[in-house]
Amino acid sequence: MARSNAAQRHISELTTLNALAQTLNHALDLRGALDSALAHIVELMRLRSGWVFLVGEGTTFALAARHDLPPAISYPGPAWEDDCACQELCLSGKLAKAVNMVRCSRLRHAVGDKWGLAQHASVPLRSGDEMLGMLNVATKEWSHFSQADLQLLSAAGSMLGTAIARAQLYEQVKVRRVQEQGMLLRLSQELLGAEELEPALQRLVRVGSRLLEADACAFVEADEVDMRAVLRAVHGWQLPEGCAWPVTLDQQTPHLWYLPERATSLPAEALSDLPVLLRRQHFQGHLAIFVELNGVPVGTLMVNTVAPRQFLDDEAQLLALLANQLAQTLERERLHQEALARQRLEQELDLARTIQESFLPHACPQLPGYAVAAYYRAARQVGGDFYDFIELPPEPDPVSVDLPSVRTGAASSRAATAVEVACANTTSPSPAAAADMSRLGIVIADVTDKGVPAALFMALCRTLLRATASDGHAPAVVLERANRLILADSRAGLFVTCFYAQLDPTTGTLTYASGGHNYPLLYRVATGAVEPLRAQGIVLGIVPQPHFAQQSVTLAPGDMVLFYTDGVTEAMNAQRELFGEERLIDLLQRHHRRTPQEVIAAVLEALNAFVGNQSQSDDITMIVVKRLRDCLKS
């Protein structure tokens, strides 16, 4: 029977110890853990009352937990305001045993019902050599603990001391994490607001050294251009006086592949000899992490200590957070520089656009009996389309025209003869009026490229065409000579399509030649038909001696000519369909009674409706010339 009772008691003790262990292992809140653990300990000792003191600052103790106190020493109350014998014994080092029996001074002087309690078993609570507090379980005056009881109480006290130390350490870690997070947050805000990169990097390495309690912190950037590693930011290093910044750390290896991720003795654990400047720092403890942008290493962030030190995983994670902030700072700086570069480019392109616009006519010419309108819109800020109006001298004597060098077709010769006949059979204006009745050169051209290269080539071509045409030579001659000059001056490999026409406003004769350009569309009021002004020719700037066929037509009152570039007909909608020439012909037929400005507006409206939300892919240029009346009869 006695053996059975002993076994049951042993099982009960083990059960209570296990419950105590579970409570202490899962509890992180110190107050809650002490209250629950004290209840298990009192139950384990088959007692009723107990309390726990924890060491505070200096030599003070604070009541941290209590369990079922008798009325005479209820808390709070006078009993807890007097001096305590067990605390004095603890501070003087006289509680040397694992369990010490102490007559309780509080119970001795207390007034009221004490439940017969007079002494307590005091267990010092320690973590190594550090005194954490004291566990007291109260007993009656003549109570006696067996050796097994003392061992149980000692074991419970040991478990309680370990749990207190762990909980306090957890609290310290939480406080440290809060401090670290606060420093990281402040650092992040400072980096976001930094106007210059270098001070921001210096701030980061100072914070890194402080957070990781290291002697030094440095960011080593990989200079891929010069294939070297340079110190971009450093704290705690001894640098040579007067050295240029940034300091070259390694002339051969930009990424420092020989440095280990962690080391307690850096010189011994490096995969090769350290650079001279790094070796002079005499670092032992070492922790490093690569700084990456879009998965590409751009440098190394590292912290070091003079004494040997093994950096822990949580410290490596903290350094990784700093490296991430560093990468974000570098990326923001890169984006900022790109934005500044784009801004400068935008300003330069705006200036280029202004210059290019100055090449285009400021206004359309005013011709008696004619209406002229033009429109230009670049696909980008600058483009390769251009048009021009050139005031030409009266047509020279056919004998003096240098036409033999241009191979014109038979149709061209017949057209010229017809114009001469018509002029001869027409009443001529007065000599003064004839002097004022100069011819008009009309140029529309498209450089086969877009953007800045096309704009520069456009300026060259426009200048050469104007210089060649200004002396009044026939269109075929002008294109031939312009082609020769473009080939001589151009080194870019670009070429230009061009259509050049000369209008005699007196007779309505339009003489033209094409350099591989879209054929203008002529609306005939007499028939209501639209016919392209075809002329054989090749683009300018490709072959040295191209053939340009020259043609002529006569505009009757009401006739209209639309010159355009392929940005109009090759505009594409979401279904990848082209606007095409047929739509232009239909527009001319439907709007031939309107002014040139209204015709251009109608084309643009139809074009915008056709392409919808698709972006403009090519420059758009149009010229519309409409004959209103017969100049000689007005």
- Residues 330-361 have pLDDT tens digits of 888 888 888 888 888 777 777 777 777 777 88
The residue ranges of every structural domain in the chain are: 2-173, 195-336, 360-565+616-633
* Cα Rg of the chain, angstroms: 49
**pLDDT by residue (tens digit) across 55-78?**
877 678 888 888 889 998 888 888
**pLDDT by residue (tens digit) across 595-614?**
999 999 999 999 999 999 88
Contact 120, 139 (CB under 8 A): yes
CA 631 centroid distance within chain: 64
Question: Architecture of 2-173 per CATH?
Answer: 2-Layer Sandwich (3.30)
Specify the higher pLDDT residue, 527 or 47.
Answer: 527
Q: Tally the residues of the chain.
A: 634
Calculate ∠ Cα 424-625-585, nearest 5°.
115
315, containing H or E segment: helix 313-359
* Rounded-to-5 percentages of helix, strand, coil across the chain: 40, 25, 35
Instruction: Label residue 475 exposed, middle or buried (CB < 10 Å: 0-12, 13-18, 19+).
Output: buried
Contact 16, 38 (CB under 8 A): no
Question: Architecture of 195-336 per CATH?
Answer: 2-Layer Sandwich (3.30)
Check whether 432 has a pLDDT greater than 70: no
Edge-first strand listing for the sheet containing 50-55: 61-67, 50-55, 130-140, 117-127, 100-103
CATH fold match for the domains 2-173 and 360-565+616-633: no
Contact 283, 305 (CB under 8 A): yes
Contact 125, 160 (CB under 8 A): yes
Check whether 367 has a pLDDT greater than 80: yes
- Pair of tokens at residue 394: 């009266």
- Pair of tokens at residue 426: 């027409």
Q: State the Cα–Cα distance between residues 54 and 60, nearest whole angstrom.
A: 9
Residue 307 CB coordination number (10 Å): 9
Edge-first strand listing for the sheet containing 296-305: 247-250, 228-235, 216-223, 296-305, 285-293, 262-263
Say what the pTM is: 0.53
Average pLDDT over residues 16-37: 66
Contact 248, 221 (CB under 8 A): no
Per cent of the chain over pLDDT 90 is: 38
What CATH number was assigned to the domain covering residues 360-565+616-633? 3.60.40.10
pLDDT confidence band for 329 (50 / 70 / 90):
confident
Q: Which residues pair with 561 in a beta bridge?
A: 522, 625
Of residues 512, 592, 598, 590, the one with CA closest to residue 557: 592
